[in-house]
Amino acid sequence: MIYLFGAFSVLRLHYGLIQKYVIAMTEYPNSDEDDFSNSGEDEFSNSDEGEFNWDDGLESDPEEHGMSFLEHLEEFRWTVGRSILAFLLGVVIVGCLMPYVGAFLQMPLIEAYGSAELVGEKLITYKPMGVFSVFIQIALLGGLVLSMPFVLFFMACFIAPGLTDRERKVVRPACFAAFVLFLSGVAVAFYGILPLTLAFSVKFNQVMGFQVLLAASEYYSMVVWFSLATGAIFQFPLIIVILIFIQVLAVEKLKAIRRAVFVGTMIFAALLTPGGDFLSLPLTTGILYGLYELAILVGSHIEKKRRAAELAELDAKE
């Protein structure tokens, strides 16, 4: 979402520059080399009114307080560099704290078994390099989570000059809400859905007389990816609210497709949940649909405020 805002802002900032070049190409088309070397060259070079500076568009216009195209590229390079640096620092921090991070990620399994000793017996590795792949996955994804607020801040600072005042009011709270919703989704998956799913799996296997042995690489991969996927899914109500704010979607339309959205969330929850059992599936479906209703509620408030502002403006004109 932030990257889409950035691309739109850069294109809009340089629309005037592109328009200048098109006008210049129309007024001063390319001529033959022989004609250019004759008197027309002197007339073109000495004329103050017809002279066109091709480098004019690449320089900052102090009246418009804008940046040139090359300055935007330089700023984008620094933004990417800062984001990569924040990500690498997050990877290093998670790598240094790997024993504690690994023990923390075992919490859903400990709740399922009810004992940390049993988890130590059931969590195994049958590949010589299985632990190394687990280390890489946890370090990279953990670094992504730690660096996310900084990356969002850097991207917001980059695209802010290209936004209108109305759009700028949306970006800052949107970045904050995106991070909060992401953490909320991760917490719901880690502390709610995963323990229920694993507990159901363990109890069902015990009833059937089977012993559950979990591969460490598969377990950590499931926990990390499912938590991150749930955090990403929690962004969709924010997207809906932004679309309502910029008048792309209407609340009445969202209310009319409630049944279709409920069926869609149920299908998506069935694909998202690791076990697909009758506990985690309805829980995930209820959470996703609840977020949809929350987006409708916030969107209704936005539309009411917009209508009130329009009525007040009409009254002021009258």
Structure confidence at residue 86 (pLDDT): 92
Residue 113 neighbours by CB under 8 Å, 6+ apart: 119, 122, 202
> For 14-23, 89-98, 99-108, 192-201, which range has the lowest pLDDT when averaged over its residues?
14-23
Inform me whether the pLDDT recorded for 275 exceeds 80.
no
* Residue 214 confidence (pLDDT) above 60: yes
**Does residue 117 lie in a domain region?**
yes
In this structure, is residue 246 part of a structural domain? no
Residue 243: CB atoms within 10 A of its CB come to 15
Q: Across the strands, what pairs with 123?
A: 214
Instruction: Indicate the pTM of the whole model.
Output: 0.68
Domain count, the chain: 1
* Structural domain that includes position 96: 2-234
pLDDT surpassing 80 at residue 18: no
pLDDT of 11 reads 45
Where is mean pLDDT largest: 26-30, 47-51, 193-197? Answer: 193-197
pLDDT score of 39 more than 50 = no
So what's the pLDDT on residue 106?
86
> Is residue 44's pLDDT more than 80?
no
Q: For residue 316, tell me if it sits in a domain.
A: no
Q: Is residue 27's pLDDT more than 80?
A: no
More confident call, 60 vs 282: 282
